[in-house]
Amino acid sequence: MSDIKVIYIDGTEETFKDNGAPGGSYSNTIKHEGGFAVITDPFGNTTSIPSERINRVIHASDRRGF
């Protein structure tokens, strides 16, 4: 699983929980493009947040060992 937590400048927090998707290798991703943080979930849905609103981003990945 790969949860992404966005901490905004005003102190509020938003967590994008990774609920997984069929197939096993899909997870949340984040890219920084043109002044936006773009978060994509395992199903391809995206959320764009203006960078000037963001204080910090935490991308917690729970890697599984085999």
Q: Is position 13 within any domain? A: yes
State how far the Cα of 28 lies from the Cα of 3, in Å rounded to an integer. Answer: 7
pLDDT reported for residue 48: 97
**Residue 66 within any structural domain of the chain:** no
Mean predicted confidence (pLDDT) in 36-48? 93
Residue range(s) defining the domain that contains residue 17? 2-61
Per the CB < 8 A criterion, the answer to whether 22 and 31 are in contact is no
Question: Could you report the per-residue pLDDT of 48-65, keeping only the tens digit for each?
Answer: 999 999 999 999 876 655
Tell me the pLDDT band of 37, cut-offs 50, 70 and 90: very high
| CATH number, position 30 | 2.30.30
43 falls within a domain: yes
Give the tens place of pLDDT for each residue, 14-31.
999 987 766 666 788 999
- Backbone phi, psi, residue 6, to 5°: -105, 125
Give the total number of structural domains in the chain: 1
